[in-house]
Structure 1
Amino acid sequence: MDLIDKLHELSSRIQRQKASVQTEEAAKTAFVLPFLQALGYDVFNPSEVIPELNADHGVKKGEKVDYAIKLDGKIVILIECKPVGAELEKKHAAQLYRYFSVTESRFGVLTDGIRYLFYSDLEKDNCMDDRPFFEFNLLQFGENEVEELKKFNKNSFDLDTIISTASNLKYHKALVSEIRAEFEQPSEDMVKLLTSRVYNGRITQQVKEQFSELTLKAMKDYVRARVNERLKSALDTDLVEQHAVEINTDSEDIAVAESPDSSGIETTSDELEGFRIVRAIGAEFVDPERIVMRDAKSYCAILLDDNNRKPICRLHFGKTKMSVTIFALNNETKVEIEKVTQIYQFRSLIQDAIHQYEQKEEFA
C-alpha cells in the first residue's frame, strides 16, 4: 500500500474516532503512532522510535520529549504530542524549542495527532525557528503535501535533501499566510499601493477609507470569480441542462426523468452547486467527467462512472434542512450542513469514497 493510501485510511479513522480521543495519551496511541508507522518507522522498536527521551535543559530536570526518531545512531526527529485540537503554535512551540536546543536533531514536530508542524533550524544553527517550514493535516491534504511528507519516510530520509527544500517551503508558507491576510483584510500598504495605480487624485483620509472598502470588495469578488470559473470548468455543460434520473436502489433499473413535470423531480441550484463542489474535489484523482449526478425525489445522488454501485455521496437538500451522506470505506457517514459550501470540509471523506472504487479496480 502506497503512503497516500495509508494516509487516507488513517484520515478516515480520525473522522470516525476523533470525538472519543480526548487526551494526549489517546492521541498518541490512536493517531500519532499509526502516522509514524505509515512513514515506515518501527514503533515497537525503542531503539528507532524512542518514547520519553530525556531532554533536560539547564536547571530544568526531568524534561522529556514524547518521541524521538533515531536513524543510523543519530537522533533525527523530535516529536512533541498534544491533545486533539490543541493550539499548537501559540502554547506549545516553546516547549519543543527547549528540547530542540539540547539534542542533535535538525527537525522537531509538534502535533495533536491531526496537524503536524515541522520545524528546523534554518535561521540559526541548533536554535529552532519560530515558524514551521511545513505543515501536514491528516484531514486536509493533497498530492503536493504527500510528496513533501515522503521526504520524512524512513526509507527515503535524507537530511541534506530536506534541508535544501525546507527554506523554500517555510517562506512559501509565510507568503501564503500574508496573502491570505491581505485578502481577508487589506493592509494600509496594500490599499495605498492599489489606490495609487487606479486613482490619480490626492490620497486623503477620506479617499483611504473609501478605497479600503473598495479594495476588500474587489479582492473578494476576484476570489469568488476564480472559484466559480473552476467549478464551471469541472461541470459538464450537458449535465447542467440534463433533467435528472431517479435511482431505484432495490434493482439495477434506472428511470430517466425527461422533465420535472413528468417525474416530479426538480434539480435545484443548491444541488447543482453541491455536485460541482464534489466534482471539483474528485478531479484531483479521477477525470471529472467520470463523476455524474442522478437526481431523485428524496435525494440527489453523485456517482462514479454513472454506476449506482459506486455511490460517492447523496445530497439531502430540503427547504429548511440540508445534509450529506458520504459512502467512504464501506461506511455511510451522514453530516448536517447549513450551507452548500460546507461540503468542502468533508474533502477527505469524499476523496476516500472515490479512492475505494479505484483500489478495487486495481486489484480486480
Structure 2
Amino acid sequence: MDFADRLAALATKVTNQAGAIGTEEATKNAFVMPFISTILGYDVFDPLEVVPEFTADVGIKKGEKVDYAIVREGEVQILIECKASSGVPKIEHASQLFRYFSTTNARIAALTNGVVWQFFTDLDAPNRMDPKPFLVLDLLDIDETLIPEVQKLSKESFDLESIISAAEELKYVGALKREIAAQFRQPGDDWIKFFTTKVYDGSFTQKVREQFTVLVTKASRQFLTESVNDRLKTALGAGVGIRPVDDSPAPTSEAVAEADITGDTEIETTLEELEGYTIVKAIACGEVKPQRITHRDAKTYFAVLLDDNNRKPIARLHFNGRQKYLGVLDAEKIETRHPITSLDEIYDHASAIREAVVRYR
C-alpha cells in the first residue's frame, strides 16, 4: 500500500469513528498514534524514535509536556501537541509548542485533534514558531496537492530542507485557498464591495450592499457550478452525448423493482446526472475507496453502484423529468424516491447512502 492509499485508509477510519471519540486520550490512541506510525512511518513503541510526554531540560514551565516528540539521529525533529477530536485545534492550544520549539532543535511542530493536522515552522523569525501553519491537512477533506508535502515528513522520505523551502509558498497558497473557499460559502463585505464596484457605477449604499450580497453569492455559486461543468465536458469529450434535461411529466414515487441497467445505445448522460453522481461518490468515499464507486445510465434513471455491480446499487438519480428525485434503497432493495429541488439536497440523505455502501462492502 503506497503513501496515498495509507492516508486514504486512515481518513476512512477517522470518518467512521470521529463521532465516537470524546477524549484527548482516545484521540491519541485512535487517530494520532496511527498517523505517526502508518503515515509518517515512525515506531510509536520505540522511545528512540517517538517520545511520549516529552519534556525538555531548559526554559520550560515546570510540569508542562509536549504529547509527542519525533526523534531522528538523536535529535528532536518534530513536536506534536494533541487535543480531543471533538474540538477544533486552535493556536491558543499550542503554548507548549511555542515554548518547546525554541529550546529544542525541532524545526517542525504539529497541532492536531487527530482529524485536522496543522504543521508549523519558523519562517517569520529563526527558532521561533510561526503563529500560522504552513500546511493544514484535513483528513475529512484531503487536498491531494498536499500529499507529497506530507510525505516529506515521513521517516523514509524525510527532507527538512525541502519542507522548509516549500513552506512559505504552502503557507500563503493554503491560506488563500481557505479564504477564497470561505468567501464563496459566505461572501464578506469587502468581497461584495470589490465585485460590486466592478459592475455597478452608482454609490455603494446600504441598499446596494444588500442587493449585491444576494447577487454576488448567487454569481459565485453559479461560477463554481459552471466550472465543474466545463471540467466534466473536457473529461467526457466525445465519448458521451450531452443532452438537456427534458420537461416530461414527473415520474411517480412508487417503489421501482431492480431492473437491468446494462448499456443502451439510445442512452445519453446529462451533466446534471454526472454532478449528482459526483456528490453521491463523495459521500460514499467515506466508507470505501473512490475507485469502487461507479455509475451506469439507463433510460429511466442513472444508477450509482459499488464495484460496477448492478446487484450493489447505492443510489439512483431520476433527473429526466420536471421534478427530480433521489432514489435510495433499503436492505431489500426497495427504492424510496425523495424529491429534490437542487443537487445540494443529496447531502440530506448522506446517512442512507453510507448505509447502502456498508451493506455491500
Query: Which residue identity does 2:346 align to in structure 1?
Result: V
Find the counterpart in structure 2 of residue 225 from structure 1: 226
Query: Which residue identity does 2:6 align to in structure 1?
Result: K
Distance apart, 1:169 and its partner CA = 0.4
User: Are the aligned partners of 1:31 and 1:114 in contact in 2 as well (CA < 8 Å)?
Assistant: yes
User: Are the aligned partners of 2:192 and 2:213 in contact in 1 as well (CA < 8 Å)?
Assistant: yes
Distance apart, 1:170 and its partner CA = 0.3
User: Are the aligned partners of 2:121 and 2:133 in contact in 1 as well (CA < 8 Å)?
Assistant: yes
- Any idea what SS the aligned residue of 2:150 has? helix
User: Are the aligned partners of 1:76 and 1:106 in contact in 2 as well (CA < 8 Å)?
Assistant: yes
Distance apart, 1:159 and its partner CA = 1.3
Distance apart, 1:163 and its partner CA = 0.2
Distance apart, 1:57 and its partner CA = 7.2
Give a deviation string over 1:174-221, Cα, whole Å, max 9, x none.
212332343344444444443343334455555455444433332233
Give a deviation string over 1:274-312, Cα, whole Å, max 9, x none.
324346899x976x9x932267999944255x4447x5x
Which of 296, 299, 315 aligns to 1:293? It is 296
Find the counterpart in structure 2 of residue 110 from structure 1: 111
Q: How many residues align?
A: 322
Distance 1:114 1:280, change over 3 A: closer
Distance 1:346 1:84, change over 3 A: farther
Find the counterpart in structure 1 of residue 27 from structure 2: 27
Which sits farther off after the overlay, 291-300 or 24-33?
291-300
Distance apart, 1:148 and its partner CA = 1.5
Which of 279, 297, 301 aligns to 1:277? It is 279
- Any idea what SS the aligned residue of 1:66 has? strand
Higher helix residue share: 1
TM-score (norm 2): 0.71
Runs of 4+ in 1 over 6 A off after TM superposition: 267-272, 279-282, 295-299, 316-322, 343-353
Query: Which residue identity does 1:155 align to in structure 2?
Result: E
Find the counterpart in structure 2 of residue 362 from structure 1: none
User: Are the aligned partners of 2:314 and 2:329 in contact in 1 as well (CA < 8 Å)?
Assistant: yes
Find the counterpart in structure 1 of residue 7 from structure 2: 7
Query: Which residue identity does 2:54 align to in structure 1?
Result: L
CA–CA distance in structure 1, aligned partners of residues 199 and 301 of structure 2:
51
Distance apart, 1:20 and its partner CA = 3.1
CA–CA distance in structure 2, aligned partners of residues 110 and 257 of structure 1:
50
- Any idea what SS the aligned residue of 1:155 has? coil
CA–CA distance in structure 1, aligned partners of residues 353 and 37 of structure 2:
24
- The question of 1:128 aligning with 2:129 is answered yes
Distance 1:278 1:130, change over 3 A: same
Pairing of 1:230-249 with structure 2 (within 5 A) = 230=231, 237-238=240-241
Query: Which residue identity does 1:226 align to in structure 2?
Result: S
Which sits farther off after the overlay, 5-14 or 315-324?
315-324
Unpaired runs of 5+ residues, structure 2, are 246-255, 319-323, 331-337
Distance 1:127 1:343, change over 3 A: farther
TM-score (norm 1): 0.70
Find the counterpart in structure 1 of residue 345 from structure 2: 339
- Any idea what SS the aligned residue of 1:156 has? coil
- The question of 1:85 aligning with 2:86 is answered yes
Distance apart, 1:29 and its partner CA = 1.5
Which sits farther off after the overlay, 340-349 or 190-199?
340-349
CA–CA distance in structure 1, aligned partners of residues 67 and 272 of structure 2:
47
Distance 1:220 1:56, change over 3 A: farther
CA–CA distance in structure 2, aligned partners of residues 352 and 37 of structure 1:
27
Distance 1:346 1:166, change over 3 A: farther
Distance 1:90 1:142, change over 3 A: closer
User: Are the aligned partners of 1:298 and 1:316 in contact in 2 as well (CA < 8 Å)?
Assistant: yes
Find the counterpart in structure 1 of residue 16 from structure 2: 16
Distance apart, 1:10 and its partner CA = 1.9
